[in-house]
């Protein structure tokens, strides 16, 4: 399995991590994060999805648990803005270098402002996309925050 940019970042930083491959095929009514949870038998509060948004027009990454949804107002406040909306899928793919369903908060083509939901810090490790559909990456949340230069805030609900 070829290393993704996200995996290479962790290897260069000597961050302890593990990879969890799974079959990314899923029913249409199930999202990519939910498919990962189901395939891996993971706690949906410990698996985080990476969402690309625009806060006052600036592309911004939100990392929230699969078990909930993104609170756009809380994200805007955490990012120091007034209004947040979901980014267009094409803009998200272009800025990150990843495809939808496989966007990792790590190793993006362009370093975007990032906010990680504060609940991530309640776990010893969290799972995020490794940069392609069907591959999750498990790492300590403090390393995720440090390597993405993220701030943490209550942005999920």
pTM exceeds 0.85: yes
For residue range 102-151, what is the model confidence (pLDDT) as tens digits?
999 999 998 999 999 999 999 999 999 999 988 999 999 999 999 999 99
**Residues belonging to the chain:** 157
For residue range 53-93, what is the model confidence (pLDDT) as tens digits?
999 999 999 999 998 899 999 999 999 999 999 999 999 99
The structural domains of the chain, ordered by start, are 5-153 (3.90.960.10)
Higher pLDDT, 44 or 24: 44
């Amino acid at each position: 399995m070829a290393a993704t940019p996200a995996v290479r970042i962790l290897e260069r930083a000597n961050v302890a991590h593990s990879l969890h491959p799974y079959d990314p095929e899923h029913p249409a009514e199930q999202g990519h994060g939910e498919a990962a949870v189901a395939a891996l038998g993971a706690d949906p509060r410990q698996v985080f999805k990476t969402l690309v948004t625009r806060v006052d027009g600036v592309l911004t990454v939100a990392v929230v648990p699969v078990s909930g949804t993104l609170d756009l107002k809380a994200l805007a406040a955490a990012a120091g803005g007034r209004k947040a909306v979901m980014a267009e899928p094409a803009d998200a793919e272009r800025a990150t270098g990843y495809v939808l369903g496989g966007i990792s908060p790590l190793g993006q083509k362009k370093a975007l402002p990032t906010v990680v939901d504060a609940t991530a810090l309640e776990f010893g490790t969290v799972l995020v996309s490794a940069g392609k559909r069907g591959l999750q990456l498990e790492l300590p949340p403090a390393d995720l925050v440090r390597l993405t230069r993220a701030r943490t805030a209550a942005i999920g609900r």
